[in-house]
Structure 1
Amino acid sequence: MPKTDTLIYDVDALIDAVIDREGRYVNHPADRGGPTCWGITEAVARAQGYAGEMRALPRAEAAAIYRRIYWLRPGYDRVGLRAPKIAAELFDTGVNMGTATATGFLQRALNALNRSARDYPDIAVDRDIGPRTLSALDAFLRVRGKGGETVLLRAMEALQGERYIALAERRPSQEAFLYGWLANRIG
């Protein structure tokens, strides 16, 4: 989950924290995303209609892109109404790994925590926030109570950490980013 002193439940604060963490223009040779500005890759910026130089991407445009494709499109706003910490984690992981991967972590964790489907049925890990995922989340929170959101968050972070390490093991060039990922994206 993003480390920030602001309320993690506020999407504007989440977006500002990501933008502050990502910084201005970067074109790291080991980053497969290529040139980025405010954490937005050139490919994403172009797909969202930005035609200017990446170095000149306005912060407000980056914020609008984050809101559209990393908060609203995957349905994290709907998760936020139920479990704000989980929504914040989905957003941050979605920015870094893709929203489908982040959503898959949630679905896998919900399935693993349902006590062999006694609390609620398993759901398909289709990497999409739909009615069944929201229903499973509602049931999990109802059954597990106040501490449930924290445990679910830890499960998702464990999956995220494992993925970072596996990525660095598969592609040694990504070791350049591993420390920062573990320091800034988990916990």
Structure 2
Amino acid sequence: MNAIDTILDEIIRREGGYVNHPADRGGPTNFGITAQTLGSWRKLGRPATAPEVQALTETQARAIYRQQYITGPGFETITHSALLHLLVDAGVHSGPKRAVQWLQSALGVTADGVIGPKTRAALAAADQGVLYGKVLGQRLRHLGWLITTDPKQSAFAAGWMNRMAEFVEGTV
């Protein structure tokens, strides 16, 4: 099993199965895949319906994760497995563009959300462990901001903190 398969296993474990929580901005989700993401991936021209989300298979979810959260943003070239895991999980949770922007901000390059030659060069020259800590810090600050600016999101705070603790403790 390669690093990406392990990351996908962990994301599926964290996200669980079908959920349709009223406070979830993503609406119905299955394996962490939202109605909007599924509709986009299937080229429906609309968000998927709750029954379509509920029918999503784990195999399909993994394919979506690979395409939209690993290959799409350009994370497949990151060789530091902990940093790769953090960025993919951040993309799943907060959007791949935001995850790329956190990486770019930590690298000190323009945070445009696109991994291009300047980002790749800065990444190659960076201390990956230090970079991991900087990206993790940005992600934690963002979650704190979400909880304080949208009180409905506090319903998810304990789960988010448990998720983040795995990255802080290095158990991922």
Same fold, judged at TM 0.5 (above): yes
- 1:152 equivalent to 2:131? Answer yes
Per-residue Cα deviation, 1:122-171 (whole angstroms, up to 9, x for no partner): x211111111001011122xxxxxxx322211111111000000111100
**How far apart, in 2, do the equivalents of 1:164 and 1:171 lie?**
11
Task: Extract structure 1 runs of 4+ deviating beyond 3 A.
Answer: none
Q: What residue number does 1:92 align with?
A: 89
CA RMSD of aligned residues (A): 1.6
Q: What residue number does 1:54 align with?
A: 53
Per-residue Cα deviation, 1:6-49 (whole angstroms, up to 9, x for no partner): x8x61111111111211111000100100011110011111111
- Candidates 101, 124, 133, aligned match of 1:138: 124
- Candidates 38, 51, 58, aligned match of 2:31: 38
**How far apart, in 1, do the equivalents of 2:82 and 2:17 lie?**
27
- Candidates 110, 113, 122, aligned match of 1:127: 113
**How far apart, in 2, do the equivalents of 1:178 and 1:109 lie?**
24
**How far apart, in 2, do the equivalents of 1:109 and 1:133 lie?**
10
Amino acid at match of 2:19: V
- 1:182 equivalent to 2:168? Answer no
Per-residue Cα deviation, 1:100-122 (whole angstroms, up to 9, x for no partner): 111111111111xxxxxxxxxxx
Check whether the contact 1:71–1:77 (CA below 8 A) recurs between aligned residues. Answer: yes
**How far apart, in 2, do the equivalents of 1:31 and 1:69 lie?**
20
**How far apart, in 1, do the equivalents of 2:114 and 2:78 lie?**
12
Amino acid at match of 1:39: G
Amino acid at match of 1:72: T
Which deviates more from structure 2 when the two are superposed, residues 87-96 or residues 176-185?
Answer: 176-185
CA shift, 1:54, in A, is 1.7
CA shift, 1:172, in A, is 0.3
TM-score (norm 2): 0.87
**Secondary structure, counterpart of 2:111 in structure 1:** coil
Amino acid at match of 2:93: N
Higher RCO, 1 vs 2 (CA within 8 Å, ≥6 residues apart): 1
CA shift, 1:85, in A, is 2.0
**Secondary structure, counterpart of 2:78 in structure 1:** helix
Gaps of 5+ in 2: none
Aligned length: 160
CA shift, 1:53, in A, is 2.3
Per-residue Cα deviation, 1:68-124 (whole angstroms, up to 9, x for no partner): 0000000000123xx22222111010000001111111111111xxxxxxxxxxx21
- Aligned sequence identity (%): 38
- Candidates 6, 9, 14, aligned match of 2:7: 14
